[in-house]
Structure 1
């Protein structure tokens, strides 16, 4: 693991109180067709410890998928914590609960699952897609992403063409994709020439994949 954590990340910490510092730190960017993204920089406290714990304790697995006429390796490691499964770090529990409380008036339900992706270096990536296997195909929903480790770009583009946008996700940053984003826009994390390890934790409501 070749990741340099912040020199100023101190000891035990707590998340901002829901509806207070979280709301103050969020910046919302409206997109087209009823989609939007929220960004909150340096949101997750003690990010170095959370990152190290996830690297060591998450049961990472490699996946393979059909690509045209051959089966290829998925370029990242993954694991999903389903509804009711304990999360590997207490701060992730606080993060999920804080997000559920803050977005409940808009979302109408809590975040209940946590998908984890481990991008080991710049060669790991995720192609253009939307989370449309479940209810995101037909309903407005939200996916909240906590990024840990080296910065990587989250790119977004409208389905069918149009101007794209990009957000650089840094260590401890929060990005929330909401409204119609999953069905009217696509997102990707492209390959880069040089990058250290990064972990993405995606909190989702029930039956959103």
Structure 2
């Protein structure tokens, strides 16, 4: 497994959650949009190290057509009311809920964590459409810590894809109709990349 070179990525000693007024929005088709903010969380190497150490990561197997296969990443999910594994994640969730309150109309309450151990780990094309997000607009906010990986989006009905870099401490928010009308993935890569953790904040009743 490739080790995370933290000293090259983030020199801050403390985990600092930054302001959200610097987000940049890209409008997609069908009412979907993506917000990005580079370096939202400072001291991200400390956060990465704590999550890697303290989160009870587990592997899963899922039905894929006529076979049961390993999910190519490690997972952990924190449901509504469950304590998060690091106080910085609570701060992130509160800040996101406050910043997007007017558009979203409700707070972020859950956190799904994924550990991509190297370039062989990935997530296939999908939309977060389990629950009411199948029919309603919502938001999914993703904090990335560790080695940079791209989040790639494409319209469900076909069309050109959009590549969104997600680096150490970066924020990506998918909003509007994005979960219903677009799919997204983190593709495998043959490049030598280190491990990455993504934290997906969602509202109640959406997975």
TM-score range for the pair, normalised by the shorter chain length: over 0.9
What TM-score do you get using the length of structure 1 for normalisation? 0.95
Provide the alpha-carbon RMSD of the alignment.
1.1
Deviations 1:70-115 (A, max 9, x none): 1110000000011111111111111000000000000000000000
Q: Is the 8 A contact 2:15 2:46 kept in 1?
A: no
Cα distance in 1, alignment partners of residues 12 and 138 from structure 2: 34
What is residue 68 of structure 2 aligned with on the other side?
71
Q: Which runs of 4+ in 1 moved over 4 A?
A: none
Q: CA deviation at 1:66?
A: 1.0
Question: Residues 13, 47 of structure 1: CA spacing in aligned structure 2 closer, same or farther, 3 A cutoff?
Answer: closer
What is residue 183 of structure 2 aligned with on the other side?
186
1:3 aligns with 2:14: no
1:14 aligns with 2:16: yes
Deviations 1:137-163 (A, max 9, x none): 000000000001001010000001011
In the alignment of these two chains, the number of paired residues is 204
Structure 1, unmatched stretches of 5+, are none
1:202 to 163, 181, 200: 200
Cα distance in 2, alignment partners of residues 121 and 15 from structure 1: 26
Q: Is the 8 A contact 2:155 2:183 kept in 1?
A: yes
1:163 aligns with 2:164: no
What TM-score do you get using the length of structure 2 for normalisation? 0.96
User: Which range moved further: 99-108 or 67-76?
Assistant: 67-76
Q: Is the 8 A contact 2:138 2:177 kept in 1?
A: yes
Cα distance in 1, alignment partners of residues 126 and 14 from structure 2: 36
Structure 2, unmatched stretches of 5+, are none
Q: CA deviation at 1:13?
A: 4.5
Cα distance in 2, alignment partners of residues 74 and 157 from structure 1: 22
Q: What SS does structure 2 have at the residue aligned with 1:121?
A: coil
